[in-house]
């Protein structure tokens, strides 16, 4: 009888050590972590640098974490950056394989993602064009036509709160006596909100899966709370 229960007890004591993670393929990793400017069907799409650095911070591997900003590897920094990765995971157009955060933050998977990022890095383009003079006016980027906002219903409340809190952080960051940490968070906050709203609107237009909307809504709530904490420290 004792022999029968011993393996089961070992798994319980290991707190889930016997759970098998889903090891993603290279194609699944590329699809999930591809840069936002890359085409969805690009097998050699460059990977999102911010998401990759976040996974390195979560990997728990000292080699992978080497060279990361100290602000990224502390508890608050890891929580902040996870908002971006969670948004990717909640996006069905990126995560058809239904990978979890635990799947993609496993050490072996993060090492493979780092290798893929190197393999997919675009080669430098040689050019014979004369360098632009310092006095030449910069060309204005072409702006895409504005798209009407999608009604997000009740799930949009947390997103709206996050947008308001981040707006306040950006106001503080714009002041002459700005704190460097607040300025860094203001930039991160703005980029994260743009991605979160885009992800939530995409889910709504695809049928409004409540579980996925709730996941993105939770990420927005975490971002709003972090913005409040940042403002509190900055006062």
Tell me, what's the pLDDT at 229? 81
Nearest C-alpha neighbor of 57 from the set 86, 87, 78, 83? 78
SS3 for 107-157 is HHHHHHHHHHHHHHCCCCCCCCCCCCCCCCCCCCCCCCCCCCCCCCHHHHH
> In Å, how far are 127, 128, 131, 141, 173 from 135, measured between CA atoms?
21, 20, 12, 18, 30
Tell me, what's the pLDDT at 131? 55
Tell me, what's the pLDDT at 69? 87
The rounded radius of gyration (Å) of the Cα atoms in the chain is 21
Tell me, what's the pLDDT at 129? 55
Rounded to the nearest angstrom, the gap between the alpha carbon of residue 37 and the centroid of all alpha carbons in its chain is 14
Which residues are CB-contacts of 54 (< 8 A; sequence separation ≥ 6)? 72, 78, 81, 82, 84, 85
Tell me, what's the pLDDT at 218? 85
pLDDT surpasses 90 at 107? yes
pLDDT surpasses 80 at 15? no
3-state secondary structure of 51: helix
> In Å, how far are 49, 154, 185, 194, 201 from 53, measured between CA atoms?
6, 32, 16, 19, 26
The count of C-alpha atoms lying within 13 angstroms of the C-alpha of 181, restricted to the half-sphere facing its C-beta, is 16
b (16+ CB within 10 A) / e for 15-35: eeeeeeeeebeeebbbbbbbb
Return the higher-pLDDT residue of 60 and 235.
60
Tell me, what's the pLDDT at 224? 82
Tell me, what's the pLDDT at 213? 81
Element (H, E) at 11: helix 2-13
Reading the block at residue 80, the tokens are: 């902040």
pLDDT surpasses 70 at 1? no
pLDDT tens digits, 184-234: 777 888 888 788 888 888 887 787 788 888 888 888 888 888 878 877 744
Tell me, what's the pLDDT at 187? 81
């Amino acid at each position: 009888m004792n022999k029968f229960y011993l393996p089961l007890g070992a798994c319980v004591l290991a707190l889930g050590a016997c759970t098998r993670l889903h090891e993603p393929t290279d194609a699944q990793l590329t699809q999930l972590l591809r840069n936002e400017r890359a085409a969805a069907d690009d097998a050699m799409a460059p990977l999102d640098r911010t998401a990759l650095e976040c996974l390195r911070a979560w990997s728990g591997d000292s080699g992978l974490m080497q060279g990361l900003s100290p602000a990224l590897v502390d508890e608050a920094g890891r929580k902040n950056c996870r908002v971006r990765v969670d948004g990717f995971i909640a996006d069905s157009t990126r995560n058809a394989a239904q990978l979890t955060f635990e799947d993609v933050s496993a050490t072996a998977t993060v090492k493979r993602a780092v290798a893929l990022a190197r393999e997919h890095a675009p080669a430098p383009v040689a050019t014979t064009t004369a360098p632009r003079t310092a006095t030449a006016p910069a060309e204005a980027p072409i702006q895409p036509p504005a798209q009407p906002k999608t009604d997000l219903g009740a799930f949009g409340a947390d997103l709206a709160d996050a947008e308001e809190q981040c707006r306040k952080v950006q106001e503080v960051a714009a002041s002459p006596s700005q704190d460097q940490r607040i300025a860094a968070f203001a930039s991160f906050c703005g980029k994260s909100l743009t991605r979160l709203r885009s992800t939530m609107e995409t889910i709504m237009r695809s049928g409004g899966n409540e579980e996925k909307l709730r996941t993105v809504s939770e990420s927005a709530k975490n971002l709003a709370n972090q913005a409040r904490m940042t403002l509190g420290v900055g006062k």
